């Protein structure tokens, strides 16, 4: 029996050519694997047939949209995952679900190698290969574009020579990756970081400069997961899709960022993630109401590390798995409703309520009904500041106190007014 290679297949030029290219370069049979994570485009059955027509011996296709939304987008939401405080991991969280299906197909069809279409400059090569070997250490990985010198010119020439059923002349100036959580755009004129993005860069969002009338939405959460919009029950996938539509119509979720890639270079990226940005804003605010202070402070540290691990392709790592446990525990009481006003590129919280809220009106109010015993504050401050007070006294004793002299001498005749 021939060796078999599983190929992550998109249905486009590079991966369609990659089927025959890999077969010729390695002598192996190729199994094409197409995974729908909400990227839109062609029907999976059309993609499956194209893979077979291009020479694949088998074609594995999977509609993973619900799986992606529930098992990958929701953990990112619970973590409030924003790389460099802005990027909601649009591409990074889609790679692990694709990896899972690649490994599943490799086992099903007896493949020994997994191939992907990444270059040697990006993060995705790491996400695919580390993910694959984390789930199946015995599998080998190859990348035709990186390892077999498959350039676009060679791909077009190969497709033409073999009469492959794939469009070879259409050229998009951008490299685009999209799924239900958002859309990533790079290359072309965007590589000059002084160039502003043009209107044709955006698809998921409308121009926020001239927005429609403000849209108000109430999002209901149960343990960190959105379960209803304006009282209508939704699945995680439906919640993301509907918020993509409503927040996108207001131009919310446009991100223009120069980010630090894992491979050590900086890259200019344009992202659109209307649903993700709006849902994270609502989720963060509900956490502010329901998560205890010290737990919330530590969670911010955990969330940042979680985000970095996922961005760096370590979804299946032991540390990420441990952080998952902590984050999941913090969501125990993150249930309630958040009201968002969507307008002009912004998602603004205008109301929040929860049966598990830690907000106590009688403690917070300054009006009649205030139940906070202010007489306790003086003793609290004395004890809270005691270590700093003792340390300061020691500094003064040894001549190391804070220098309180003026930066420059006061002019002769200047009157110093007490309290000035």
Q: Is 366 annotated as a binding residue?
A: no
Q: Is 8 annotated as a binding residue?
A: yes
Q: Is 11 annotated as a binding residue?
A: yes
Side by side, the strands of the sheet bearing 336-343 are 232-233, 225-229, 215-222, 336-343, 346-353
Structure tokens at 277: 């940005």
Out of 14, 36, 206, 312, pick the active-site residue.
14
Q: Report the candidate in 317, 347, 320 with the shortest Cα–Cα distance to residue 214.
A: 347
Phi (first) and psi of residue 283, to 5 degrees: -65, -45
Q: Is 14 annotated as a binding residue?
A: yes
DSSP secondary structure string, 70-119? IIIIHHHHHTT--BTTTB--TTTTHHHHHHHHHHHHHHHHT-SEEE----
Q: Is 127 annotated as a binding residue?
A: yes
Q: Is 188 annotated as a binding residue?
A: no
Q: Is 36 annotated as a binding residue?
A: no
Q: Is 124 annotated as a binding residue?
A: yes
Q: Is 419 annotated as a binding residue?
A: no
Structure tokens at 240: 């993301």
Q: Is 123 annotated as a binding residue?
A: yes
Per residue, the 3-state secondary structure of 363-396, as one string, reads HHCCCCCCCCCCCHHHHHHHHHCHHHHHHHHHHH
Q: Which helix (H) or strand (E) holds 217?
A: strand 215-222
To which residue do tokens 């003026």 refer? 406
Out of 66, 134, 146, 175, pick the active-site residue.
175
Q: Is 384 annotated as a binding residue?
A: no
C-alpha pair distances (Å), 123 with each of 9, 38, 93, 149: 18, 21, 12, 19
Q: Is 402 helix (H, G, I), strand (E, B) or coil?
A: coil
Whether residue 95 lies in the annotated active site = yes
Structure tokens at 392: 């300061």
Structure tokens at 100: 């899972």
Q: Is 175 annotated as a binding residue?
A: yes
Out of 4, 48, 50, 95, pick the active-site residue.
95
Out of 36, 124, 206, 312, pick the active-site residue.
124
Q: Is 147 annotated as a binding residue?
A: no
State the Rg of the chain over Cα: 27
Q: Is 60 annotated as a binding residue?
A: no
Q: Is 253 annotated as a binding residue?
A: no
Distance CA 123, CA 327 (A): 25
Whether residue 403 lies in the annotated active site = no
To which residue do tokens 């029950």 refer? 233
Binding residue positions for L-citrulline = 87, 123, 127, 175, 259, 271
Binding residue positions for L-aspartate = 119, 123-124
Binding residue positions = 8-16, 87, 117, 119, 123-124, 127, 175, 259, 271
Binding residue positions for ATP = 8-16, 117
Would you name the residues annotated as active-site residues? 14, 95, 124, 175
């Amino acid at each position: 029996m021939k060796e078999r290679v599983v190929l992550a297949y998109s249905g486009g030029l590079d991966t369609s050519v990659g089927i025959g290219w890999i077969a010729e370069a390695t002598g192996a049979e190729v199994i094409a694997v197409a995974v729908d994570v909400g990227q839109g485009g062609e029907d999976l059955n059309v993609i499956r047939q194209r893979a077979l027509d291009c020479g694949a011996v088998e074609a594995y296709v999977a509609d993973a949209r619900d799986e992606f939304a529930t098992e990958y987008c929701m953990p990112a939401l619970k973590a409030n995952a924003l790389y460099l405080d802005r990027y909601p991991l649009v591409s990074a969280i889609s790679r692990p679900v694709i990896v899972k299906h690649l490994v599943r197909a490799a086992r099903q069809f007896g493949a020994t190698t997994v191939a992907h279409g990444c270059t040697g400059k990006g993060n995705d090569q790491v996400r695919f290969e580390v993910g694959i070997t984390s789930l199946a250490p015995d599998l080998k990985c190859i990348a035709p574009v990186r390892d077999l010198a498959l350039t676009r010119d060679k791909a077009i020439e190969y497709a033409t020579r073999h009469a492959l059923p794939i469009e070879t002349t259409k050229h998009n100036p951008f490299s685009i990756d999209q799924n239900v959580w958002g859309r990533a755009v790079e290359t072309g004129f965007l590589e000059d970081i002084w160039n502003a993005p043009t209107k044709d860069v955006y698809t998921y969002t409308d121009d926020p400069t001239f927005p429609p009338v403000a849209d108000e939405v109430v999002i209901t959460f149960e343990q960190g997961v959105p379960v209803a919009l304006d009282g209508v029950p939704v699945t995680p996938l439906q919640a993301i899709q509907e918020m993509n539509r409503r927040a996108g119509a207001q131009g919310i979720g446009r991100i223009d960022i120069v980010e630090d890639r894992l491979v050590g270079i900086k890259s200019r990226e344009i992202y659109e993630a209307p649903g993700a940005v709006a849902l994270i804003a609502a989720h963060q605010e509900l956490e502010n109401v329901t998560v205890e202070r010290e737990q919330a402070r530590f969670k911010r540290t955990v969330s940042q590390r979680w985000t970095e691990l996922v961005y760096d392709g370590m979804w299946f790592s032991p540390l990420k798995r441990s952080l998952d446990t902590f984050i999941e525990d913090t969501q125990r009481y993150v249930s309630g409703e958040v009201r968002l006003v969507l307008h002009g590129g912004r998602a603004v919280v205008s109301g929040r309520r929860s049966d598990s809220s830690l907000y106590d009106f009688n403690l917070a109010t300054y009006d009649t009904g205030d139940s906070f015993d202010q007489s306790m504050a003086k003793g609290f401050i004395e004890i809270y500041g005691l270590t700093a007070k003792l340390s300061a006294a020691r500094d003064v004793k040894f001549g190391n106190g804070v220098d309180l002299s003026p930066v420059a001498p006061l002019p002769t005749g200047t009157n110093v007014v007490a309290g000035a």
